[in-house]
């Protein structure tokens, strides 16, 4: 286990003085970063738009066809190919599984033609079920940081709560749900009854859903896609204010990059279901699985987050195809460039154009 890279303010305030601040927890799963490779040369954030757009176009062809694997495979193949064309030396720290479980985009896989060293967390198709059923909210997504900047979470469950900038600093994953809903409502200047909470519809959330309903908040139960729901909570205008519950830990790290770029906040706790999973956490530096993890524990240094809609959701439109090409809707967030860029792109499949481009 290596030590967490010190924050700029570390050592400035005595630990006791910071103890009550819910968003400055010092746990530590991250490995130290030697310099920030995302600061080298020209920024690479725009290159990543094309990567997620391409995988979205490939997988969206499988919309509603009931074939999760084909949709996933199409996304994996295209995303891998696109990353391999970039002048990077990328290492997948969060991918489709361990080397022997997944043929492609496995943890430890190296990508690119060589160049800038980066770490990549990738979910080529977040929402395979959503795509296979033609339901909203599937995206092709990745996050990038300098080596050591992304917590290489084991692929187990994680309890999470995510909010946007308005409510950042007003949540505590260890507080009762009703307390969080009250403080979030206050931050937005709303009544609790006007707050919308997104929760994955799972048996394990029965109690959580009861508590949210008892508190009087509105709920959107989603079948899958808690990266999308975290980001939707982080962007004003989606109508979502917070996403709570137990989902994938790897999805938590990918979402953390977006929450950081959006000025939002994610708090998390590993949620192992066996001794084996507790051991997996220990191998990655989490000796105590009950520790709260903050945004800064999940991602450090500069980060880039890129996502393209596969099926239409509250944040991004899905891919549409037309006679000469396809149209995608993507978002890129980059802490180096300080941008959150929504990108509407028409991809032409040949040089010969037969129909007009639509606005």
Residues in contact with ligand VTB by CB under 6 A are 126-127, 200, 202, 224-226, 247-248, 251
CB of 267 to ligand VTB, least distance (A): 16
Gap between the Cα atoms of 60 and 309, Å rounded: 9
- Which residue, 33 or 158, is less far from ligand VTB as judged by CB? 158
Q: Per the structure block, which two tokens stand in for 16?
A: 């006791």
Q: Which is nearer to ligand VTB, 78 or 159 (CB)?
A: 159
Minimum CB–partner distance for residue 120 and ligand VTB (Å): 17
Element housing 63 (H / E): none
Please give the C-alpha separations between residue 144 and each of 71, 195, 212, 330, in angstroms, as whole numbers. 23, 31, 34, 16
**Least distance CB 247 / ligand VTB (angstroms):** 3
Please check whether residue 218 is in contact with residue 130, taking contact to mean a CB–CB distance below 8 angstroms.
no
Nearest to ligand VTB of 148, 225 (CB atom): 225
Q: How far is the CB of 352 from ligand VTB (least distance, A)?
A: 39
Nearer Cβ to ligand VTB (143/302): 143
- Give 140's contacts (C-beta < 8 A, 6+ positions apart): 52, 53, 55, 56, 59, 75, 79, 123, 124, 125, 126, 307, 308, 310
- Cα–Cα distance for residue pair 342/359, rounded to 1 Å: 16
**Closest CB 246 distance from ligand VTB, rounded Å:** 7
CB of 126 to ligand VTB, least distance (A): 5
CB closer to ligand VTB, 136 vs 248: 248
The tokens of 55 are what? 């995988």
* Smallest distance, ligand VTB to C-beta of residue 251, A: 4
Q: Are 87 and 114 in contact (CB under 8 A)?
A: yes
β-strands 196-200, 157-163 pairing: unpaired
* Sole residue written with tokens 């819910």: 22
| Residue whose C-beta lies closest to ligand VTB | 247
Please report how close the Cβ of residue 25 comes to ligand VTB at its closest, in angstroms: 22
Q: Are the beta carbons of 267 and 171 closer than 8 angstroms?
A: yes
Q: Measure the CA–CA gap between 25 and 5, rounded to whole angstroms.
A: 13
Of 248 and 264, CB closest to ligand VTB = 248
> Closer to ligand VTB at the Cβ: 247 or 318?
247
C-beta of 118 vs 122, nearer to ligand VTB: 122
Within 10 A of 183 (CB to CB), how many other CB atoms are there? 19
């Amino acid at each position: 286990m290596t030590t967490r890279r010190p924050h700029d303010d570390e050592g400035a305030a005595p630990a006791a003085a910071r103890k009550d601040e819910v968003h400055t927890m010092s746990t530590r799963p991250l490995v130290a970063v030697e310099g920030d490779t995302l600061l080298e040369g020209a920024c690479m954030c725009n290159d990543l738009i094309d990567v997620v757009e391409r995988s979205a176009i490939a997988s969206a062809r499988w919309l509603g066809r009931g074939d999760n694997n084909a949709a996933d495979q199409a996304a994996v193949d295209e995303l891998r190919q696109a990353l391999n064309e970039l002048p990077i030396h990328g290492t997948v720290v969060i991918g489709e599984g361990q080397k022997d479980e997944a043929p492609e985009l496995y943890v430890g896989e190296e990508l690119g033609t060589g160049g800038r060293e980066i770490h990549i967390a990738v979910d080529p198709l977040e929402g395979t079920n959503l795509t296979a059923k033609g339901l909203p909210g599937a995206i092709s997504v990745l996050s990038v940081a300098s080596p050591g900047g992304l917590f290489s979470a084991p692929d187990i469950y994680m309890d999470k709560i995510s909010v946007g900038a308005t409510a950042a600093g007003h949540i505590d994953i260890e507080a009762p749900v009703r307390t969080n809903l009250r403080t979030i409502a206050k931050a937005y200047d709303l009544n609790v009854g006007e707050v919308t909470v997104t929760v994955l519809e799972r048996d394990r959330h029965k109690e959580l859903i009861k508590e949210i309903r008892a508190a009087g908040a509105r709920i959107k139960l989603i079948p899958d896609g808690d990266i999308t729901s975290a980001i939707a909570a982080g962007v004003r205008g989606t109508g979502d204010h917070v996403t709570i519950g137990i989902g994938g830990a790897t999805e938590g790290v990918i979402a953390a990059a977006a929450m950081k770029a959006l000025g939002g906040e994610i708090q998390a706790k590993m949620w192992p279901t066996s001794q084996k999973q507790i051991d997996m956490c220990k191998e990655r530096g989490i000796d105590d699985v009950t520790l709260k993890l903050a945004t800064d524990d999940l991602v450090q240094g500069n980060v880039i987050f890129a996502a393209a809609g596969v099926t239409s959701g509250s944040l991004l439109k899905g891919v549409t195809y037309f006679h000469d090409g396809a149209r995608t809707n993507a978002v890129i967030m980059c802490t180096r460039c300080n941008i959150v860029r929504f990108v509407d792109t028409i991809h032409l499949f040949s040089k010969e154009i037969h129909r007009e481009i639509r606005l």
